[in-house]
Chains A and B, each alone.
Chain A
Amino acid sequence: MSEDSNPAATPTPCEDIQGDGRWMSLHNRFVSDSKGKEPDVLFVGDSLVQLLHEFEVWRKLFSPLHALNFGVGGDATHHVLWRLMNGELDYISPKVVVLWVGTNNHGHTPEQICGGIMAIINVIHQKLPHAHTLVLGLLPRGKSPNPLRARNASVNDLVQAEVASLSHASFLDMDPGFIQSDGSIAHQDMYDYLHLTPRAYQRVCQPLHERIRSLLDKHAP
């Protein structure tokens, strides 16, 4: 699927419809932040990445790894692609890039979303040839079974398969079993059936932390 025909893989900034320019402010801040820092780990993605920074778990597990957080709420793959191609990778060379995006790609097929994620992995590899991209699986969402759960699961299957043949990227399933036996997701895990509570973040971040640690260890000379 070429970039031209896949909207999910076409770098696109977010239009300032509301009128306070917040998306561009965040992007500019990430670029200028990156000029002063030397992160070993870069987290990039949507609100699931962004909110992670606001809870204790970030300070406990990821700050010690010298991690930067470039998450923007609402971002879809084409927004992240644009950001990474327009400065956010230009001044840093993290060893591991953690990528978590795709759940906001409304209107796109799983194939398109996978294409968007692969395009991002590609850009990271071009700009940071020595970095490893760890792609996080999309989580289920919604209180009860719904089409978006199926869509996200398909994206995960497609991405996992495509990434298997790459040495510079790998996939991590982030779902510790949020869907209960009756098919529902608890609001104690996702307070709005999409975003994680601090306790759910604790659950998903343990394995993530371990995987990042082992990637960093492999990376060390």
Chain B
Amino acid sequence: MIARMSTEENPAAEPAPVIDVQGDGRWMSQHNRFVQECKDAEPDVLFVGDSMVQLMQQYEVWREVFSPLHALNFGIGGDTTCNVLWRLQNGELENIRPRVVVLWVGTNNHEHTADQVAGGILAIAKLVLSRLPKSKMIVLGLLPRGEFPNPLREKNAAVNNLLRASLPQLGPVQFIDVGGSFVHSDGAISSRDMFDFLHLTASAYRTISMTLHELLLQMLEEMPQERRALLV
């Protein structure tokens, strides 16, 4: 079903910038900063997505675990698959050759169905793999959200199931679901893990970072360092 959904049919796969409604142009400022970072940096790992990615950089775990891997963080709070697609098509993949791209987006796609969201994520993965043919990808599953069981948990789980089935067919893409530990036996999510039942606390980020870090190390070790043009 997903393979047949073309870009024209899937609104979640339509690239779109965020329109500045509030009046301080913050989204475009962040995008422009990322484009500039592409010109200045040579990351081995690129993280891209929404606030789940962005907030990670504000916690100690980023400095301890991901900075040492020469990682860049192109997360923007509130972003949907459409916004990430637009950013990657408009400069955020220029001039860099990260060996692994980590993608985490989809929980903010409120206007779209699970099928559409999965399609949007696949579209991003296809774009990245076509622009960076030597790179691998890690796609993180959408986390459960809300204090108690609710329709968004079901939707996010449905997205994850679709991704689990279709991502591997695209190439060197690994799907990981780090949401397993957050829902307790009574169906509740603790504010100790998600301080607003959506965003992760420092300790929750530590928990998921262990799995992510291990996988990143594996992927980075599997790939020979790309030799720069011989300058002999």
**Is B14 part of the contact surface with A, judged by Cβ < 8 Å?**
no
A143 and B25 form a contact (CB under 8 A) = yes
Q: Which of B30, B77, B150 contacts A21 (CB 8 A)?
A: B150
A197 and B58 form a contact (CB under 8 A) = yes
Measured CB to CB, the nearest residue on chain A to B24 is: A142
Chain B 137-154: CB-based contact to A (< 8 A → 1; otherwise 0): 000000001111011110
**Is B157 part of the contact surface with A, judged by Cβ < 8 Å?**
no
- Give the docked Cα–Cα distance between A19 and B147 (Å): 11
Chain A 195-210: CB-based contact to B (< 8 A → 1; otherwise 0): 0011000000000000
Q: Which of B30, B33, B54, B201 contacts A54 (CB 8 A)?
A: B201
Measured CB to CB, the nearest residue on chain A to B154 is: A19
Counting contact residues on chain B (CB < 8 A from A), the size range is 20 to 34
**Is B22 part of the contact surface with A, judged by Cβ < 8 Å?**
yes
A26 and B197 form a contact (CB under 8 A) = yes
Residues on A with beta carbons closer than 8 Å to the beta carbon of B191:
29
Most B CB within 10 A of own CB, among A18, A144, A198? A18
- Give the docked Cα–Cα distance between A49 and B33 (Å): 26
Give B85 Cβ to nearest chain A Cβ, in Å. 20
Indicate whether A19 sits within 8 Å of B29 (C-beta atoms), given known contacts A29-B191, A146-B23, A148-B22: no
Counting contact residues on chain A (CB < 8 A from B), the size range is 20 to 34
- Give the docked Cα–Cα distance between A19 and B29 (Å): 30
Residues on A with beta carbons closer than 8 Å to the beta carbon of B77:
192
Q: Which of A20, A192, A197 contacts B153 (CB 8 A)?
A: A20
Measured CB to CB, the nearest residue on chain A to B144 is: A20
B147 and A191 form a contact (CB under 8 A) = no
A148 and B24 form a contact (CB under 8 A) = yes
- Give the docked Cα–Cα distance between A50 and B51 (Å): 15
Q: Give the interface SS of chain A, mostly helix, strand, loop or mixed.
A: loop
Chain A 161-202: CB-based contact to B (< 8 A → 1; otherwise 0): 000000000000000000000000001000111100110000
Chain A 7-22: CB-based contact to B (< 8 A → 1; otherwise 0): 0000000000111111
Indicate whether A143 sits within 8 Å of B26 (C-beta atoms), given known contacts A20-B153, A191-B54, A191-B58: yes
Give B179 Cβ to nearest chain A Cβ, in Å. 14
Chain B 101-143: CB-based contact to A (< 8 A → 1; otherwise 0): 0000000001000000000000000000000000000000000
Residues on A with beta carbons closer than 8 Å to the beta carbon of B23:
106, 142, 146-148
- Give the docked Cα–Cα distance between A53 and B196 (Å): 11
| Segment 137-156 of A: residues with Cβ below 8 Å from B | 141-144, 146-149
Residues on B with beta carbons closer than 8 Å to the beta carbon of A192:
26, 30, 54, 76-77
Residues on A with beta carbons closer than 8 Å to the beta carbon of B76:
192
Measured CB to CB, the nearest residue on chain A to B151 is: A19
Indicate whether A73 sits within 8 Å of B196 (C-beta atoms), given known contacts A19-B152, A142-B26: yes
Give me the 6 closest cross-chain CB pairs, A-B, nearest first: A142-B24, A20-B146, A143-B29, A25-B147, A146-B24, A20-B150
* 21 residue pairs bridging A and B, Cβ less than 8 Å apart: A18-B152, A19-B110, A19-B150, A20-B197, A21-B146, A22-B198, A26-B196, A29-B147, A50-B196, A54-B59, A55-B58, A142-B25, A142-B26, A143-B25, A146-B23, A147-B23, A148-B22, A191-B57, A191-B58, A192-B26, A193-B26
